[in-house]
Amino acid sequence: MVAALVVILGSAGTFLAANVISRNATQASRQNFDASSQEIASTLKLAIQHEQDLVVNEGAFFVENPHATQAQFLSWISSTRTFSRYPELSGSALVVIVTKSQLPAFEAKSLQHPVGVLGAGHTFQIIPAGSRPFYCFQQVAATSRGPSITPVGYDFCDSFLAPALLADRDSGQGQYLPYGTGKDELLVLGTPVYRDGVTPATVQTRRANFVGWSGTSVIPSVIVATALQDHRGISAAFTYIGGSKNVSFSAGHAPSRAQSLTVPLHNGWRVETYGALSGGGLFTNGNSLILLLSGGAGSIILGLLVFVLGTGRARALVLVRERTIELQHRALHDPLTGLPNRALILDRIDQMLARARRERSAVAVLFLDLDNFKDVNDTLGHAAGDQLLMQVGERLSGVLREVDTVGRLGGDEFVILAQGSALAPGAEEVAQRVLDVLRPPFDIAASDTPLRVTASIGIAEGMREKSEDLLRDADIALYQAKSLGRRRAVAFLPAMQKIVDERQSLLVDLSAGLVEHQFFLLYQPIVNLATGTFNGVEAMLRWRHPSRGVVMPEQFVPALEASGMMVAVGIWSLQEACRQGALWRSQGHHFPISVKLSAKQLESDDIINVVRDALSSSGLEPSSLVLEIDETTLMQDTDETADRLRALKDLGVHLAIVDFGTWYTSLTNLRRFPIDMLRVERVLESEFVDNAEVSVLERTVVQLGEALGLETVTEGAQGHDQRRHLISANVDTGRESLFAKRLDADGVDRLLNDWEGEPVATP
C-alpha cells in the first residue's frame, strides 16, 4: 500500500510538474517573441526617425532657398550624398501651393525647366483636370533612379494626401503616410516648411509664412526587411489603417499556426509580428516527457526534477533580461564596431551641452573621415574595409578618456566627443593625438603589406542650441580640412558657412556654365627664343559668367576637379582645341597646339578613347597635338599613369610635363614616362639674371632636359635680358607677353597674317 501510494503520489507529482514545465516553456517562448516584436517595432521607429532627419535637413535647405531651382536642388542632393547615405530612399521633393492666379507663371516655368514628366505634345496638364482655387505642385524633385516620373502638373492637393498636407500646414507637424498603388506603394514622409525655419504660433501666421512641404518617399519593404534582420522565424507587417486607405508592408515568412503581436505606433500605423511559439503539449515537450518517464524512480528523483524546474524558470527570466539589454544596445550602437551610432551620439552631445551649461566647461566635437577609404574597398574588398574600420575604432577608443565618446556615423565617418579637462591643451591637440594614433600601419588579413591610413578632422567647439548644430559645424570644418589635403585638422569658423554657401553657388553656376556653353578658349602663342619664329599655341580655358565676368582658371578649376565636372569640361576643351587646330592646318598654318589634361581625366583609361575621338572627329594630325600633364599629377599613381601615357603616345601625340621644377618627379620616375618636352616652372625664371642660385637651378633643369633628349619650354621671359639668358641656357621655346598676349582664335588669325614667318623680335 505504501509503495502504491508512493507510486501514485510520485506519478501525480510528476504529472503536475510536467505540466508546469510545458507551460513555462511556452511562456518563455512568448516572452522572447514579445521582446523580438518590440525590438522590430523599435528598429522601425528609429528607421523612420532617420528618414525624418533627412526631411528636416531638406526643410533647412528650402528655408535658405525658398525659390530653389531644380539644378540647385540636384546639386545639393549630390553634395550631401543623399541617395548613397539613404539606400532605401526612392525620391525627394518640395511641394508648393500655387494659386489660380499664379498658375500661368508656374506653367511657363515648368515648360522651360520641367521637374517631372510633361503631358502629350510637351504641354503642362493639370492632373486631375479641373479648375480649383489652388493647386499643390512639385517645385523641385529628385529620385534615386533618375528624372522624376511624376507628371509636372500632378495636383497633390487633389489626392489621398490632400487632407494630411493641409492639416500639416496648419498644425506645423509632419507625418508619414502610404502613397501609391499595388507594388509601387511607397512610404511618404513630409513636414511643412516656414519662412526663417521657425514654426509660427498660430494657424493664421503659419498659413501666412508657409513655404511648402518638404517630403521624401521611402521603399517600405527595405526598412521592414532591415528591421527583421537577426529575427529568424518571424515575419512582420507595417500596417496603416485610416479613412479609405488601408495598406500593409510585410517581410519575412510566417510559420504555420503562428502567434501574433500588434504594437501600435501613431497616426494610424502599427506593427504586426507573427512567429511560432515553442513548448507544445505535455507529451510533445521533451522535458515534460522525460519527467513523466523518470517519475517511477521515486520521490528523490521527483524532488530533483522539481528543483530543476524552478531553477530552469529562473534561468529563462535571466535570459530574457539579458536579451532585452542586448536589444537596447543594438539599437544604439554600430553593429560593425560596437561604437555608439548616430542616435546615441546626438543624445550624448545633448547631455554634454547640458552639463557644459551647468559647469561652464568647454565642449568639442571632432568629425573624422578616413582619406581615400574607397580605395581599400575597391582594391581589397569590403571585408578588408570592415576589418580596417574595426581597427580604427579600437585605436580611437584607446586614445581618449573613458568619459569621452567615440562613435561611428556610418561608412568611414567617426565622431569624437570631448569636454572639460580633456580640452585643456586645446581641441587641436586632441585632434593631433588622434592623427598620431592612426599613423602606425594597420595589419589587414586581405593585404600582404600593412596599410597606412590618414584622416582629415573637422573641429567644432563651444555651445550650440542643438546637438545637430555642433555636428553640422564639425562636418563643415571637415570638408575644409579635406580640401586642404590629407592628414589635417581644421577648426570651424563662422566664415566657413559662407564658404560652403559660396561653394554651392559656384557649383551650381559651373553646372549651368557647361550646359549654357559659357566656357571658351584663349590661345597663347609659343615662339622660338633664338629666331623669334612662331612655334605653336597653347589652349587656355576661361569661363565667361553672366555676372562674374571672365573668370580665371585658378578661381574655378579646383571646384571643377572636386565635383568631377572637370572630366566633361576637359573633353570639350580637347575637342574644341583639336577642331581649331585642324582649321588652322586647312588654312596652311602647320604648328602644334597644346592642351592641358586634368588629374581627373588621367584617373581613367577613358582618356585614350577621348583623345582618339577628338583627333578623329576634328581631322587633326596626332603629331600636331601636345598633351600637357602637371608634374604633381604624374606622381598620384605612377604605374597606371605611365601605362596611360604610353597608350596616348602610341596614338602619335606629343607629351609635355608642365610646371616642371617643383621636384615632385624623381629622375627614376621621369625616365618611366614617354615625355617629349619639359615646360620649366615660372619660379626658375623670376629675376634669375641677378640671382646666381636660381640661375644655377634653371641651368640644371635645362641640362636635365638635354640629357634626356627633351625639348625645354620656358613659361615666359619678362624682358630681352631674360630672353638672352634663356637662349644662352639652351632653352628652346618660350611663351607669354614678351612675344604676344593670349588671344582668341580670330586674334591668332590676325597674328599669323601679320607675322607671315617673320621673327617677332631679335635676341
The predicted-structure confidence for 213-270, as pLDDT tens digits, reads as follows 998 888 887 878 887 777 777 888 878 787 666 777 777 777 766 788 888 876 778 8
Cα–Cα distance, 258 to 272 (Å, whole number)? 12
Mean pLDDT of all residues in 307-319 = 70
Cα–Cα distance, 245 to 412 (Å, whole number)? 41
Q: Which residues partner with 655 through β-bridges?
A: 627
| Those residues with Cβ within 8 angstroms of residue 356's Cβ, 6 or more apart along the chain or in another chain | 362, 363, 419, 463
**Residue 63: per-residue pLDDT:** 86
Least trusted range by pLDDT, from 150-159, 220-229, 283-292, 613-622: 283-292
Give residue-wise pLDDT tens across range 702-757. 656 665 666 666 665 554 555 555 555 545 555 544 556 789 999 898 888 876 54
**Residue 520: per-residue pLDDT:** 95
**Residue 244: per-residue pLDDT:** 63
Q: Which three cell numbers stand for residue 148?
A: 522624376
**Residue 519: per-residue pLDDT:** 94
Least trusted range by pLDDT, from 55-64, 235-244, 461-470: 235-244
User: Residue 506: pLDDT band by 50, 70, 90 thresholds?
Assistant: confident
Does residue 309 contact residue 303 with C-beta atoms inside 8 Å? no
- 760 pLDDT more than 60: no
Name the amino acid, one letter, at 685: E
**Residue 762: per-residue pLDDT:** 33
Domain covering 68-224 assigned CATH 3.30.450.350 in the classification: yes
Higher pLDDT, 178 or 666: 178
Q: Which three cell numbers stand for residue 436?
A: 598620431
Q: Give the fold, CATH level 3, of 517-755.
A: TIM Barrel (3.20.20)
Does residue 180 contact residue 159 with C-beta atoms inside 8 Å? no
User: Residue 514: pLDDT band by 50, 70, 90 thresholds?
Assistant: confident
Give residue-wise pLDDT tens across range 391-415. 999 999 888 887 789 999 988 999 9
**Residue 289: per-residue pLDDT:** 66
- 683 pLDDT more than 60: no
- 321 pLDDT more than 70: yes
Task: Select the highest-mean-pLDDT range: 189-198, 271-280, 281-290.
Answer: 189-198
DSSP category for residue 448: S
Does residue 465 contact residue 481 with C-beta atoms inside 8 Å? no
What would the 3-class secondary structure string for 703-751 be?
HHHHHCCCEEEECCCCCHHHHHHHHHCCCCEEECCCCCCCECHHHHHHH
Mean pLDDT of all residues in 435-445 = 92
Block residue for cell numbers 629675376:
687
Give residue-wise pLDDT tens across range 631-665. 777 766 667 888 899 999 999 999 988 866 544 44
Give residue-wise pLDDT tens across range 690-700. 445 445 555 66
Higher pLDDT, 579 or 30: 579
Least trusted range by pLDDT, from 296-300, 480-484, 727-731: 727-731
Give residue-wise pLDDT tens across range 569-617. 999 999 999 999 999 999 999 899 999 998 888 888 999 999 999 999 9
CA dihedral 51, 56, 62, 63 (to 10 degrees): 180
**Residue 735: per-residue pLDDT:** 54
Mean pLDDT of all residues in 504-532 = 85
- 80 pLDDT more than 60: yes
User: Residue 761: pLDDT band by 50, 70, 90 thresholds?
Assistant: very low
The total of other beta-carbon atoms located within 10 Å of residue 78's CB is: 16
| Those residues with Cβ within 8 angstroms of residue 698's Cβ, 6 or more apart along the chain or in another chain | 680, 684, 685, 688, 729
E strands present in 156-302 = 175-179, 186-194, 210-218, 234-242, 245-251, 259-264, 269-275
Whole-number percent of the chain with pLDDT over 70: 81
Q: Which residues partner with 138 through β-bridges?
A: 95
User: Residue 684: pLDDT band by 50, 70, 90 thresholds?
Assistant: very low
Same fold, 68-224 and 517-755: no
Average pLDDT of the chain is 81
Q: Calculate the CA 120 to chain-centre distance.
A: 37
Higher pLDDT, 674 or 451: 451
E strands present in 100-255 = 134-143, 175-179, 186-194, 210-218, 234-242, 245-251
Cα–Cα distance, 186 to 181 (Å, whole number)? 8
Query: Any idea where the domains of the chain sit in the sequence?
Result: 68-224, 342-503, 517-755
Q: Which three cell numbers stand for residue 499?
A: 564658404
Strands lying side by side in the sheet with 234-242: 245-251, 234-242, 269-275, 259-264
Cα–Cα distance, 728 to 720 (Å, whole number)? 12
Burial-class residue 515 by CB neighbours within 10 Å (0-12, 13-18, 19+).
Answer: exposed
User: Residue 440: pLDDT band by 50, 70, 90 thresholds?
Assistant: very high
The total of other beta-carbon atoms located within 10 Å of residue 623's CB is: 12
Three-state SS at 94: strand
Q: Which residues partner with 599 through β-bridges?
A: none
**Residue 661: per-residue pLDDT:** 54
User: Residue 667: pLDDT band by 50, 70, 90 thresholds?
Assistant: low
The total of other beta-carbon atoms located within 10 Å of residue 701's CB is: 19
Helix 553-563, helix 566-586: angle, nearest 10:
120
Cα–Cα distance, 442 to 450 (Å, whole number)? 5
Q: Which three cell numbers stand for residue 260?
A: 501574433
- 518 pLDDT more than 80: yes
Cα–Cα distance, 274 to 40 (Å, whole number)? 11
Cα–Cα distance, 301 to 465 (Å, whole number)? 67
Q: Give the fold, CATH level 3, of 342-503.
A: Alpha-Beta Plaits (3.30.70)
User: Residue 98: pLDDT band by 50, 70, 90 thresholds?
Assistant: very high
Question: What does the longest C-alpha to C-alpha distance in the chain come to?
Answer: 138
Mean pLDDT of all residues in 526-537 = 76
